[in-house]
A and B are shown apart, each in its own frame.
Chain A
Amino acid sequence: MGICGSCGMNVNGTPRLTCATFLREYAPGPIRVEPLANFPIIRDLVVDITDFMEKLPRVQPWLVRQDETPLTGGEYRQTPGEMERYHQFSLCINCMLCYAACPVYGLHPEFIGPAALALAHRYNLDSRDQGRAARQAEVYSEEGIWECTFVGQCSVVCPKKVDPAGAIQQEKVSAALDWLKSVVWPWGNR
């Protein structure tokens, strides 16, 4: 329960995983169940999530390497401390409650969105990853982190406590520092 992310719906105006939403929480009622907000409604409570499925691969949510070591070199090793840095952001179950809670996504559907950006952040923080520059064009774009106005509701509704709002603001800090470095030290290597 609370792991497949398929049952997202708006319950009394708030995006919830309905498998973890009990009638007793809303007693004596009434209770209003609507399709997950901000997605085109196909029928009844079924929404079209194609937009998210298209956006997710754009941020390259996988380990990107500049130099691949051969298999004989063994695994890319990581300390528990290095894993802890990104662990929280790896818990996303792609339930899209964050997209339903985000007014920016509702008003501007071109926004890449909280979950995709949180996953980009997860890989940017991964010590085994070398792909931050590769993700830059999508993540640090107008439709990426800069569209976010830090409403913060995405993190409030997230059932796995991923904190996508935090992820996006931390990426904004990284992007700003990158820009500062490029101005102050333009000949430096990334």
Chain B
Amino acid sequence: MTVNSPPNATRTYRPVMSPTWWWLRHPAWVQFMLRELSSVFIAAFLALYLARLGAFASGPAAYAAFQAWHRTPLSIALHVLILAFALLHSTTWFLLTPKIARVHVAGRSMSEKAVAGGALTAWAIVSALVAWWLLG
């Protein structure tokens, strides 16, 4: 019997994987879906930012109304959610960076921890600088 010969039984059973709910079957898949979902909240933030620019261009009254909406509990809750997903998005991004980019230093490849650690550190430093510039 060769390796590639088909099995004698002509019937095989293939368990069905739900196209909608498959990701609930394993915690790692739930994390993956949350990671992918985070992009939606990044896009939502960008949309809000564009709306802010539009309100700014429309004059003081429009901008004041826009600011007033941002002080509502709904807006604050939405922005907390956006921040949480933005942090998830960026953290998972930099943790995955070493898998995509093989960094060679002095003829040897850097370890995954070193690449991810470097990227996360650079992100923290740049974020701190931007925060200091905007808020300081």
Contact = CB atoms under 8 A, between A and B. Distances in A.
Interface string A100-130: 0001001100000000000000000000000
B105 interface: no
Nearest to B4: A53
A155 B99 contact: yes
A90 B105 CA distance: 22
A37 B13 CA distance: 11
Contacts of A169: 96, 99-100
B94 interface: no
Interface stretch (B24-32, B45-53, B63-71): B24-32
Contacts of A40: 12-14
B3 interface: yes
A150 interface: yes
Nearest to A167: B99
B134 interface: no
B136 interface: no
A103 B9 contact: no
A152 interface: yes
Interface stretch (A22-30, A42-50, A62-70, A132-140): A42-50
Interface string B15-50: 101010011011011001000100000000000000
B14 A13 contact: no
A106 B22 contact: yes
Interface residues of B, number: 28
B29 A106 contact: no
A150 B96 contact: yes
A51 to B, nearest CB: 11
A81 B102 contact: no
Interface residues of A, number: 29
Contacts of A156: 28
Nearest to A163: B99
B100 A173 contact: yes
A50 B32 contact: no
Interface string B94-118: 0010111110000111000000000
Contacts of B6: 48, 50
A84 interface: yes
Contacts of B29: 103, 151, 153
Given A40-B13, A103-B32, 15 more contacts: A40-B14, A41-B14, A42-B7, A42-B12, A84-B108, A107-B19, A107-B22, A149-B36, A152-B28, A153-B26, A153-B32, A169-B100, A170-B100, A173-B100, A173-B101
Interface of A: 13-14, 37-38, 40-43, 48, 50, 53, 81, 84, 103, 106-107, 149-153, 155-156, 163, 165-166, 169-170, 173
8 contacts: A13-B26, A42-B12, A43-B9, A107-B17, A149-B36, A151-B32, A169-B96, A170-B100
8 nearest A-B pairs in the assembled complex, by CB-CB distance: A40-B12, A166-B99, A169-B100, A41-B13, A106-B17, A151-B32, A40-B14, A42-B7
